[in-house]
């Protein structure tokens, strides 16, 4: 008997459930999809398999098993190897995905796999354990996914909030095949022994992007913890273990290969908790270990830990491997360090004269052939002449063939002078702060976000000027009511800013308004409220010398998005037949949100990530004076002059590297003088035009620690030629589509394209 689709099985206390009935009800697989089932077990003894959805050929998905109650006993195995509790199981071909098991209590003597398949996809299954006793069998498994022979396991998650465990494995995914982006989260509980990993892999394959996150609980008994654990030969790449809390007695790895293979790009990030054991970024029994990282921040207790960025068997002399050890805090004590060729100390906020970053206690510390860099958090108060102990060890420090920089890099912004030295007794390696330099040239790029926001507002003003009724209205114009209209448009533009940046933006916007028409002695007045939304993505590039002492040219690149929402009023006065002089204006206010990100700011010649986001008020308005009239037949001329003034208020923001920057407001004053020739029939309008555009201001300056960036602005003159086509379904249609191409010369270069859609209701 199979569990039918969307059926709920409720097993409550005092219900007599025999092993035969329960096993028959739950365990016979069907040859079709078995999904959307729910099993609830409350204060009951169960001696058979528990399966939310079971199929021999099909998918087992979206099934849920809930187990709760202090009197619940799940004992479907005598040895922990044969009994199963599963959310979804596929015994033939098929996939097991989006299944959930929730365990809140009871005594559990069972293997637990939320999703299980032979060689299909096991994905996005979730196990939540908030309580229970799992100490009865030390060879048991708990996993979000079990892949028996081949296939892929991805996106599976195990969350442990509480409970007592003495089992062999706690895994985000387990078994053969390819394992990517599986996660174990330990928030609490008492775990003794075993292996804990985002992915535990049996076959010779590659595990990537898997994570183990520990923020609480106690892990003891010599447990092995890893982002990804390869139980044979294979590759572990780009996996991570993150420890922010808890008490751990055991070894912590980013990526682990038991036999031969490659461990590369893995990381261990420790910001809290206590670890007693080895901390390793990447480990293989034999093979290669490259580009792994250990990152230490916060205030963890590592006094019982030995820290290795990489290790091959027992060998930690991995020169030239790209493995790094990175400290972002102070007053850390550990037994010793090794397995790296780059050692980075980032002086934290609050660092003071005489502070010690790292104290080591067990044996001589070997820095032979190490590259050592000293950085500082952007908010650190560096005082020339202050001396900081980077590393101390009463057993001695070997600095043979060490390579050091000549500066302390504060975030991405400043360089201070640096003097390094080993104490006379050879037990302390110190850094003395020198004088600071100027802001680095690439910091100009930080202003591109606010400049892009101002450019986005300019695009919105241009769009509004095109949409103002009666453009696109039908032949009949009602004058007794407000008439809704909406427009959607987008464009691409490129400019070169005043500091030499190349800025490219792709934008789109939506305008929704209400137009009221009033006939007066001068003709027709059109006015009404307007709301305006714009969004873009931008890229900025700045080519510059690498540093004051290195003339080699380098390009720093940034990118981000800007968006704004504004509301206001718009109006136009024109003649009754729209021939002759007309006057137009708008005023809007709102808020702009923008962000900036770059991955290649140079810090000690290494590409470094920095980002920020900000929100600030914005204002925009324009006035337009023009003459429109017939040239005979269906030809019309529109000669106009437009002045727009947009303002993006300044803001203060903190970079991800710690610096606090203050950016001045951008006031973008822009003039456009031009003429447009149109020729129209009942449905189509073709137009071409020439214009001269001059940006008067549009500049911002960033300030950090009393130093300023170069001015970043849009000022300059450009010429344009436009060609466009506007089409309606008919002459009286309320719907209009407009496509145009504009060629630019001067300050703004290249060709921009735009497409607009407008409807009057």
Print the SS3 string covering 234-262. Answer: EEEECCEEEEEEEEEEEEEEEEEEEEEEE
The answer, yes or no, to whether residue 32 has pLDDT greater than 70, is: no
Tell me whether residue 100 is exposed, middle or buried, using C-beta atoms within 10 angstroms of its C-beta: 0 to 12, 13 to 18, 19 or more: buried
- Which distant-in-sequence residues (6+ apart) come within 8 Å of 174 by Cβ? 113, 141, 143, 145, 146, 147, 153, 199, 200
For residue 379, which of 355, 413, 402 has the smallest C-alpha distance?
413
Tens digit of pLDDT for each residue in 241-254?
999 999 999 999 99
- Round the average pLDDT of the chain to a whole number and report it: 89
Q: Which of 37-46, 167-176, 412-421, 486-495 has the lowest mean pLDDT?
A: 486-495
223/266 Cα distance (integer angstroms): 19
Give residue 523's pLDDT. Answer: 84
351 confidence band (pLDDT: 50, 70, 90) = very high
Average pLDDT over residues 334-363: 96
The answer, yes or no, to whether residue 478 has pLDDT greater than 80, is: no
Residue 335 phi/psi, 5° resolution?
-75, -50
457/569 Cα distance (integer angstroms): 15
The answer, yes or no, to whether residue 419 has pLDDT greater than 80, is: yes
664/155 Cα distance (integer angstroms): 44
311/513 Cα distance (integer angstroms): 65
The pair of structure tokens assigned to 126 is 């979730």
DSSP symbols for 379-431: T----TT-EEEEEEETT-EE-TT-EEEEEEEETTTEEEEEEEEE-TTS-EEEE
Peptide bond connecting 470 to the previous residue in cis, omega within 30 degrees of 0: yes
Average pLDDT over residues 46-75: 91
Longest dimension (CA), the chain: 98
CB atoms within 10 A of CB 560: 21
The pair of structure tokens assigned to 75 is 């004992």
3-state secondary structure of 543: strand
Site of tokens 């299909």: 120
3-state secondary structure of 448: helix
468 confidence band (pLDDT: 50, 70, 90) = low
Tens digit of pLDDT for each residue in 269-323?
999 999 999 999 999 999 999 999 999 999 999 999 999 999 999 998 888 899 9
The answer, yes or no, to whether residue 23 has pLDDT greater than 70, is: no
- Which distant-in-sequence residues (6+ apart) come within 8 Å of 73 by Cβ? 44, 45, 46, 106, 107, 109
The pair of structure tokens assigned to 304 is 């019982």
12 confidence band (pLDDT: 50, 70, 90) = very low
Average pLDDT over residues 691-704: 92
CB atoms within 10 A of CB 352: 12
8-state DSSP, 83: -
Higher pLDDT: 185 or 749? It is 185
The answer, yes or no, to whether residue 38 has pLDDT greater than 90, is: yes
User: Which residues are bridge partners to 1 per DSSP?
Assistant: none
Q: What percent of the chain has pLDDT over 90?
A: 68
Higher pLDDT: 360 or 527? It is 360
**CA torsion angle for 192, 194, 200, 201 (degrees, to 10)?**
-170
27 confidence band (pLDDT: 50, 70, 90) = very low
Residue 453 phi/psi, 5° resolution?
-60, -40
The answer, yes or no, to whether residue 377 has pLDDT greater than 60, is: yes
Q: Which residues of 462-476 are buried (b: 16+ CB within 10 A; e: fewer)?
A: bbbbbbbbbbbbeee
For residue 333, which of 367, 364, 361, 310 has the smallest C-alpha distance?
361
Higher pLDDT: 634 or 529? It is 529
Q: Which of 484-498, 623-637, 680-694 has the lowest mean pLDDT?
A: 484-498
Give residue 138's pLDDT. Answer: 66
Give residue 575's pLDDT. Answer: 84
Q: Which of 343-352, 388-397, 676-685 has the lowest mean pLDDT?
A: 676-685
Give residue 448's pLDDT. Answer: 95
Give residue 29's pLDDT. Answer: 39
Average pLDDT over residues 178-194: 96
Tens digit of pLDDT for each residue in 435-456?
999 999 999 999 999 999 999 9
The pair of structure tokens assigned to 732 is 């009286």
Higher pLDDT: 683 or 601? It is 601
Higher pLDDT: 189 or 486? It is 189
3-state secondary structure of 465: helix
Domains contained in the chain, CATH given: 447-760 (2.40.128.130)
461 confidence band (pLDDT: 50, 70, 90) = confident
Give residue 567's pLDDT. Answer: 96
8-state DSSP, 33: -
CB atoms within 10 A of CB 428: 19
CB atoms within 10 A of CB 587: 16
Q: Which of 373-382, 553-562, 746-755 has the lowest mean pLDDT?
A: 746-755
Give residue 566's pLDDT. Answer: 97
Higher pLDDT: 477 or 611? It is 611
686/446 Cα distance (integer angstroms): 41
526 confidence band (pLDDT: 50, 70, 90) = confident
DSSP symbols for 359-370: EE-SS-EE-TT-
The answer, yes or no, to whether residue 658 has pLDDT greater than 60, is: yes
378/350 Cα distance (integer angstroms): 11
502/556 Cα distance (integer angstroms): 11
Give residue 473's pLDDT. Answer: 38
Higher pLDDT: 761 or 749? It is 749
724/722 Cα distance (integer angstroms): 7
Q: Which of 196-210, 473-487, 660-674, 705-719 has the lowest mean pLDDT?
A: 473-487
278/292 Cα distance (integer angstroms): 15
Residue 423 phi/psi, 5° resolution?
-60, 160
87/116 Cα distance (integer angstroms): 8
Tell me whether residue 551 is exposed, middle or buried, using C-beta atoms within 10 angstroms of its C-beta: 0 to 12, 13 to 18, 19 or more: exposed
271/49 Cα distance (integer angstroms): 41
479 confidence band (pLDDT: 50, 70, 90) = low
Give residue 469's pLDDT. Answer: 47
323/335 Cα distance (integer angstroms): 19
Higher pLDDT: 520 or 539? It is 539
Which value, in Å, is the radius of gyration of the alpha carbons in the chain? 34
Average pLDDT over residues 173-196: 96
**End-to-end C-alpha distance for the chain, whole angstroms:** 60
Spacing of C-alpha 12 from chain mean position: 45
The answer, yes or no, to whether residue 31 has pLDDT greater than 70, is: no
Q: What percent of the chain has pLDDT over 70?
A: 90
Beta pairing, strands 428-436 & 414-422: antiparallel
């Amino acid at each position: 008997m199979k569990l039918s689709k969307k059926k709920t099985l409720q097993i409550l206390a005092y219900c007599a459930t025999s092993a035969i009935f329960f096993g028959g009800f739950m365990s016979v697989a069907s040859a079709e999809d078995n999904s959307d089932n729910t099993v609830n077990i409350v204060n009951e003894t169960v001696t058979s398999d528990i399966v939310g959805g079971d199929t021999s050929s099909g998918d087992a998905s979206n099934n849920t098993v809930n187990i709760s109650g202090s009197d619940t006993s799940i004992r479907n195995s005598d040895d922990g190897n044969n009994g199963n509790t599963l959310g979804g199981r596929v015994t033939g071909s098929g996939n097991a995905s989006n299944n959930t098991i929730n365990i809140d209590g009871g005594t559990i003597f069972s293997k637990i796999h939320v999703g299980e398949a032979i060689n299909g996809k096991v994905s996005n299954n979730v196990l939540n354990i908030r309580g229970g006793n799992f100490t009865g069998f030390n060879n048991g498994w708990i996993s979000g996914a079990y892949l028996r022979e081949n296939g892929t396991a991805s996106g599976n998650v195990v969350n442990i909030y509480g409970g007592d465990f003495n089992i062999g494995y706690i895994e985000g995914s387990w078994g053969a095949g390819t394992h990517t982006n599986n996660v174990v989260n330990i928030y609490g509980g008492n775990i003794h022994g075993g292996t804990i990993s985002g992915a535990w892999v049996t076959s010779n394959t590659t595990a990537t992007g898997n994570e183990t996150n520990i923020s609480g609980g106690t892990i003891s008994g010599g447990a092995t913890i890893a982002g990804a654990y390869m139980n044979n030969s294979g590759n572990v790449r780009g996996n991570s273990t993150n420890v922010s809390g808890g008490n751990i007695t055991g070894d912590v790895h980013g990526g682990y290969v038991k036999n031969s293979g490659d461990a590369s790009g893995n990381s261990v990030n420790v910001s809290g908790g206590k670890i007693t054991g080895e901390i390793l970024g990447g480990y293989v029994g034999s093979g290669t270990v490259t580009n792994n990282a250990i990152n230490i921040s916060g205030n963890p207790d590592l006094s019982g830990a030995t820290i290795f960025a990489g290790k091959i068997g027992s060998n930690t002399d991995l020169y030239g491997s790209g493995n790094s050890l990175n400290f972002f805090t102070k007053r850390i004590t550990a037994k010793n360090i090794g397995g790296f060729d780059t050692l980075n100390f980032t002086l934290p906020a609050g660092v003071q004269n005489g502070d010690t970053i790292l104290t080591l206690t067990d044996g001589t510390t070997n820095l032979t052939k190490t590259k050592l860099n000293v950085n500082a958090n952007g908010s650190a108060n560096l005082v020339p002449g202050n001396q900081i102990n980077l590393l101390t060890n009463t057993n001695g420090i070997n600095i043979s063939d060490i390579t050091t920089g000549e500066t302390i890099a504060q975030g991405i912004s400043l360089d201070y002078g640096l003097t390094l030295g080993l104490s006379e007794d050879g037990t302390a390696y110190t850094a003395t702060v020198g004088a600071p330099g100027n802001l680095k040239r690439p910091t100009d790029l930080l202003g591109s976000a606010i400049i892009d926001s101002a450019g986005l507002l300019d695009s919105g003003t241009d769009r509004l000027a095109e949409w103002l009724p009666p453009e696109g209205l039908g032949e009949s114009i009602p004058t007794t009511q407000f008439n809704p209209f909406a427009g959607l448009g987008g464009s691409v533009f490129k400019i070169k800013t005043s500091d030499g940046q190349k800025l490219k933006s792709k934008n789109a916007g939506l305008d929704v308004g209400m137009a009221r028409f009033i006939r007066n002695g001068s003709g027709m007045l059109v006015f009404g409220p307007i709301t305006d939304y714009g969004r873009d993505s931008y890229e900025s590039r700045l080519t510059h010398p690498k540093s004051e002492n290195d003339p080699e040219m380098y390009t720093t690149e940034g990118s981000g998005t800007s968006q704004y929402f504004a509301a206001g009023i718009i109006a136009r006065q024109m003649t009754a037949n729209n021939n002759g002089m007309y006057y137009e204006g708008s005023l809007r206010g709102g808020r702009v949100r923008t962000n900036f990100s770059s991955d290649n700011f140079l810090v000690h010649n290494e590409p470094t990530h920095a980002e920020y986001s900000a929100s600030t008020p914005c204002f925009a308005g324009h006035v337009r004076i023009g003459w429109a009239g017939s040239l005979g037949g269906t030809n019309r001329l529109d000669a106009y002059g437009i002045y727009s003034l947009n303002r993006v208020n300044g803001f203060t923001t903190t970079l991800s590297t710690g610096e606090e920057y203050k950016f001045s407001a951008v006031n973008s004053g822009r003039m456009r003088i031009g003429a447009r020739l149109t020729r129209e029939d009942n449905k189509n309008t073709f137009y071409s035009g020439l214009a001269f555009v001059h940006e008067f201001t549009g500049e911002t300056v960033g300030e950090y620690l009393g130093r300023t960036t170069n001015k970043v602005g849009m000022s300059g003159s450009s010429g344009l030629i436009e060609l466009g086509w506007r089409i309606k379904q008919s002459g009286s249609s309320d719907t209009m589509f407009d496509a145009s191409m504009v060629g630019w010369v001067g300050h703004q270069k290249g060709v921009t394209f735009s497409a607009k859609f407008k409807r009057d209701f």
